[in-house]
Amino acid sequence: MALKQYNPTTSSQRGLILVDKSALWKGKPVKALVEGKRKTGGRNNKGHVTSRGIAGGHKQKYR
């Protein structure tokens, strides 16, 4: 992974450095290294909403 450094064409791009991810693996994750990820829906152990706007969504995996 290399770093991409941009020319300051605008004031907001001055000092902009991004990670080049083109060389990373583009296939599916290795199944032996993947676990399921539980959803909390933004609720704590009492069932109270502690983080608003977190619910539903697409099923996610943890690698």
The residues, any chain, with a CB within 8 Å of residue 49's CB and separated by 6 or more, are: 41, 42, 43
Measured in whole angstroms, how far is the alpha carbon of residue 42 from the centre of its chain?
A: 17
Q: Phi first, then psi: what are they for 22, rounded to 5°?
A: -70, -25
pTM comes to 0.49
Contact between 43 and 50 (Cβ < 8 Å): yes
Fill in the DSSP letter of residue 35.
E
Residue-by-residue pLDDT tens, the chain, 63 positions:
799 999 999 998 999 999 999 999 999 999 999 999 999 999 999 999 999 999 999 999 998
